[in-house]
């Protein structure tokens, strides 16, 4: 009984957000979010449209994980960060292509698509966004 075991459809239906940062924008109050919600968390409007969010942002807070959940041991130690995208939308993401000791608050980062975890005995590989230091 793996808490994070994921079937194909459970991952597949999240693909718009996980592969290309598709979020939502409230047409009434302008609040942006990822994933897209049917109801705006800020104003309660039902008028939320899909929107492609910017793929660059900065690290606003982070932690280095030494005790990983099952399925993520391979990456340990890895960094989980709160990223603020260029439009102000925030999300939680894993950082990649960086030593944990080199991560700083305010560090500029960009989205890349990476292998994220392998689920179950069938070995389903799930890919999703991670963020790496911005290559200028």
Partner 1 sequence: MVYIVGVGLTPVGNHWSKSLRHLAVEASVKALEDYGKDVDYVVVSNMLSGVINGQENLGSYVVSHLGKIGTPAIKIEAAGASGAAASVVAQGLISSGVAERVLVVGVEKMTDYTSLEDTTSALSTAIDSEYEGFPGGTLDAMHALVMREYMKKYGVNREDFSYFPLLMHKNAVDTPHAQLRFKLKPESYMRSPMIAEPITLLDLAPVSDGAAAIVLSKEPDGPNGNAEILSVGHATDTIAIYRRESLTEMPAIRAAFSEALERANIERDSIDLYNIHDYSSVIGYITTEELGLAERGKAPELFKNGGADRDGPTPVNPEGGLKARGNPVGATGVYQIAEAFLQVTGRAEGAQVEGAKTALTLSAGGLASNVIIHLIRGV
Q: Which of 63, 73, 81 is closest to 117 using CA atoms?
A: 73
Q: Chain-centre distance of CA 135, in angstroms?
A: 19
Return the SS3 of 2: coil
Q: Looking only at residues 54 through 83 of this chain, which bind partner 1 when binding is defined by CB under 8 A?
A: 61-73, 75, 78, 80, 82
Which residue in the set 16, 20, 22, 35 belongs to the binding site for partner 1 (CB under 8 A)? 35
Assess 16 for contact with partner 1 (CB under 8 A): no
Comparing CB distances to partner 1, the nearer of 27 and 61 is 61
Dihedral, CA of residue 11, residue 120, residue 62 and residue 58, to nearest 10 = -30
In sequence order, the 6+-apart residues with CB closer than 8 A to the CB of 36 are 16, 17, 22, 23, 24, 48, 50, 51
Which residue in the set 7, 28, 30, 41 belongs to the binding site for partner 1 (CB under 8 A)? 41
Q: Looking only at residues 87 through 126 of this chain, which bind partner 1 when binding is defined by CB under 8 A?
A: 90-94, 100, 116-117, 126
Give me the residues that bind partner 1 (CB under 8 A), please.
1-4, 6, 14, 17-18, 33-35, 41, 61-73, 75, 78, 80, 82, 90-94, 100, 116-117, 126, 128-130
């Amino acid at each position: 009984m793996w808490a994070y075991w994921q079937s194909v459809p459970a991952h597949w239906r999240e693909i718009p957000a996980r592969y290309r940062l598709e979020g939502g924008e409230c047409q009434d109050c302008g609040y942006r979010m990822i994933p897209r919600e049917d109801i705006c968390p800020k104003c309660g409007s039902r008028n939320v449209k899909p929107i492609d969010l910017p793929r660059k942002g900065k690290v606003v807070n982070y932690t280095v994980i030494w005790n990983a959940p099952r399925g993520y041991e391979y990456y340990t130690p890895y960094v989980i960060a709160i990223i603020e995208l260029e439009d102000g939308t925030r999300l939680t993401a894993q950082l990649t292509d960086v030593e944990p000791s080199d991560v700083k608050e305010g560090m500029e980062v960009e989205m890349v698509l990476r292998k994220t975890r392998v689920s179950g005995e069938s070995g389903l590989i799930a890919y999703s966004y991670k963020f790496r230091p911005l290559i200028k």
